């Protein structure tokens, strides 16, 4: 019988573990997309079922409604997302939060500042085959200027947004000798987003958006860039 070298066995184990992690992440992405589509379906059904009542109250979703998205008003918002996984090869997670403050320079047209902060970590489980993926823990802080335009004056308000700023990153990574090495990086950012805002009252809304960074990719693990689908809440006020 031919003896299979230990190095070959380790390589096969490594390839299997990598495919296991890839399949896990693809499954998680599929579940996220299905959940997002399911939420949109429920939202559509709720509008269809409550249409007559809203119409009687003068707030039907396809008619203009009273709101505070007026020139001279202010807005405060918060959006974000998080995830966690525990696979055969390791466990990890990430989170990202983005508070916003803006001023309406025209009806439905707001400009302001936002501060995205997030963290991501990964811990390799002991006893597995050698892997180039090591333990790490990184954080990101990205102050940006943003501009957002709400397309309609209806209760359901699609919007587009662009933002730009500078991303600060720091954290630690383990090398193959399990030594913890500090790392840091920074880069300019330009991002665009498409979203839907739904008014609960004339001054409170919930929202969902898809955010994509056009420039530039982060050098380290960055949940502010990687967590593209986000949910949040916005407040609109006249504080004069």
Q: Quick check: pTM over 0.85?
A: no
Cα(119)–Cα(131) distance, integer angstroms:
23
The answer to whether residue 167 scores a pLDDT higher than 70 is yes
Classify residue 112: in a domain, yes or no: yes
Average of per-residue pLDDT across 64-90? 91
The answer to whether residue 2 scores a pLDDT higher than 70 is no
Share of the chain above pLDDT 70, in %: 69
Q: What is the DSSP letter of 14?
A: H
Cα(182)–Cα(191) distance, integer angstroms:
28
Classify residue 1: in a domain, yes or no: no
Average of per-residue pLDDT across 25-45? 52
Q: What is the DSSP letter of 105?
A: E
240: which residues sit within 8 A by CB, 6+ positions away? Answer: 72
Of 15-29, 99-113, 177-191, 225-239, minimum mean pLDDT range: 15-29
Integer angstrom CA distances of residue 184 from 113, 116, 140, 169: 24, 17, 10, 5
Q: Quick one: pLDDT band at residue 67, thresholds 50, 70, 90? A: confident
pLDDT digits (tens, 9 = 90+) for 82-109: 999 998 888 999 999 999 999 999 999 9
Q: What is the DSSP letter of 150?
A: E
Classify residue 114: in a domain, yes or no: yes
Backbone angles phi, psi at 20, to 5 degrees: -60, -45
Taking 3-state DSSP, the helix, strand and coil percentages for the chain, each rounded to the nearest 5, stand at 25, 50, 25
pLDDT of residue 231: 97
Q: Quick one: pLDDT band at residue 175, thresholds 50, 70, 90? A: confident
Cα(231)–Cα(238) distance, integer angstroms:
24
Closest CA to 133 of 86, 88, 173, 93: 173
Q: Which two tokens stand for residue 17?
A: 């573990």
Domain that holds residue 179: 6-237
pLDDT of residue 5: 55
Share of the chain above pLDDT 90, in %: 54
Average of per-residue pLDDT across 129-152? 88
pLDDT of residue 53: 42
Classify residue 123: in a domain, yes or no: yes
Classify residue 186: in a domain, yes or no: yes
Closest CA to 148 of 116, 112, 117: 112
Specify the number of domains making up the chain.
1
Closest CA to 164 of 147, 184, 139: 147
Q: Residue 87 sits in a domain of what CATH number? A: 2.40.160.20
Q: Which two tokens stand for residue 127?
A: 């006893």
């Amino acid at each position: 019988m031919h003896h299979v070298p230990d190095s070959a066995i380790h390589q096969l184990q490594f390839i299997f573990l990598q495919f296991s992690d890839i399949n896990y992440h693809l499954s998680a992405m599929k579940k996220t997309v299905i959940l997002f589509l399911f939420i949109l379906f429920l939202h559509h059904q709720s509008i269809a079922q409550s249409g007559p009542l809203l119409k009687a109250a003068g707030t039907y979703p396809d008619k203009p409604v009273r709101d505070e998205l007026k020139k001279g008003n202010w807005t405060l918002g918060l959006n974000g997302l998080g995830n966690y996984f525990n696979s055969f090869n390791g466990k990890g997670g990430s989170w990202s939060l983005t508070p916003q403050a803006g001023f309406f320079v025209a009806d439905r047209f707001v400009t302001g500042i936002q501060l995205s902060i997030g963290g991501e970590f990964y811990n390799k489980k002991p006893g597995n085959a050698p892997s180039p993926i090591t333990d790490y823990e990184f954080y990101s802080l990205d102050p940006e200027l943003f501009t957002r335009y709400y397309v309609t004056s209806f209760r359901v308000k699609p919007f587009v947004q662009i933002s730009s700023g500078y991303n600060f990153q720091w954290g630690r990574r383990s090398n193959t000798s399990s030594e913890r090495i500090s790392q840091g990086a920074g880069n300019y950012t330009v991002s665009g987003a498409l979203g839907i805002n739904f008014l609960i009252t004339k001054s409170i809304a919930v929202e969902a958006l898809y955010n994509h960074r056009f420039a530039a990719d982060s050098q380290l693990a960055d949940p502010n860039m990687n967590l593209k689908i986000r949910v949040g809440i916005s407040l609109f006020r006249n504080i004069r």
